[in-house]
Amino acid sequence: MFESCYAKPMTKDCAPPFTLPEWIALAPFEEFLGMRIDEASNGRAALSMPFRAALCQGVGLMHGGAVVALADTALAIAIKTLLPKGTHFATIRMGLDFHAPVRWGVLIARASVHEQKERDIDGEVELSTEEGIRVATFRATFRIKRQQKS
């Protein structure tokens, strides 16, 4: 969907060269990595991402950055199911515990929102392979953008 904008430079004060088709949707980076939204509702989301050679680190395992990207995106999608359309929010804290490497197949992320305190939302993501091998546990806090005073 977004292939035509992948190489466009982002410059100061420029508008994004794309528009998301709907509130619960993947952005260009996530599409580029091959992510897919499998489920999203009621503060939960399940996303998947196939392991392609482009996601390898030096010895052929899935790069940790790809794992983190899927986890962060899964939690963001879970949060979107609870917020009004168009709400701006961003990750402010994250941590990931690795349990096993990804060597092949599809990585699955199951995200859930745990708590909201004022503008901060905490959640967790369990990542596993399609065979059920537990890969990692991700925890993060997102912050909702402060409303501008009129």
Q: What is the pLDDT of residues 41-57, one digit of tens each?
A: 999 999 999 999 999 99
Q: pLDDT value at position 147?
A: 80
Neighbour-count burial of 89, counting CB atoms closer than 10 A to its CB (0-12 exposed, 13-18 middle, 19+ buried)? middle
Structure tokens at 80: 């979107």
In this structure, which long-range contacts are made by residues 46-49, counting pairs with CB atoms below 8 Å and at least 24 apart in sequence? 46/74, 46/108, 46/109, 46/110, 46/111, 47/73, 47/74, 47/77, 47/108, 47/109, 47/111, 48/106, 48/107, 48/108, 48/109, 48/130, 49/106, 49/107, 49/109
Per-domain boundaries in the chain: 24-84+91-144
Q: Is 115 helix (H, G, I), strand (E, B) or coil?
A: strand
Structure tokens at 116: 């909201």
Q: pLDDT value at position 150?
A: 62
Q: What is the average per-residue pLDDT within 62-79?
A: 98
Amino acid identity of residue 70, one-letter, is L
- How would you classify residue 6: left for phi > 0, otherwise alpha for psi between -120 and 50, otherwise beta? alpha
**CATH (residue range 24-84+91-144):** 3.10.129.10
Q: What is the average per-residue pLDDT within 27-44?
A: 97
91-101 pLDDT, tens digit per residue, is: 999 999 999 99
Q: Indicate the pLDDT class of residue 146, thresholds 50, 70 and 90.
A: confident
Average pLDDT over the chain reads 95
